[in-house]
């Protein structure tokens, strides 16, 4: 489920947790999404050419599946 704040800011809910998503960089082929929770920065996501979600800048993510789950929620938002 996504809640739109404006065209570059929205929230997604994954595993009963709400994440604030901000489009931090947008290009014709690539977007980066800044992910925050409780006003705390977690990581920035982007999708590679093969359609796989990654955390930017070699950030250590405690749960790699969370990267994919938030990425999927962003994709669902972008389609809606």
pLDDT band for 19, please (50, 70, 90 cuts): very high
pTM for the structure as a whole: 0.77
pLDDT band for 14, please (50, 70, 90 cuts): very high
Q: Tens digits of per-residue pLDDT, 33-57?
A: 999 988 898 888 988 888 889 888 7
Name 16's Cβ contacts closer than 8 Å, sequence gap at least 6: none
Q: What is the DSSP string of 3-26?
A: EEEETTEEEEEETTEEEEEEEEEE
Q: Of 61 and 47, which is predicted with more confidence?
A: 47
Separation CA 44–CA 26 (nearest Å): 13
The token duo for 34 is 């800044």
Confidence (pLDDT) at 39: 81
């Amino acid at each position: 489920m996504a809640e739109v704040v404006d065209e570059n800011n929205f929230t997604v809910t994954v595993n009963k947790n709400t994440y604030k998503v901000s489009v931090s960089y947008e290009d014709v082929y690539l977007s980066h999404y800044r992910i925050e929770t409780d006003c705390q920065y977690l990581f920035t996501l982007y999708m590679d050419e093969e359609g796989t979600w990654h955390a930017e800048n070699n950030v250590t993510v405690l749960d790699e599946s969370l990267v994919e789950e938030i990425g999927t929620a962003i994709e669902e938002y972008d389609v809606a």
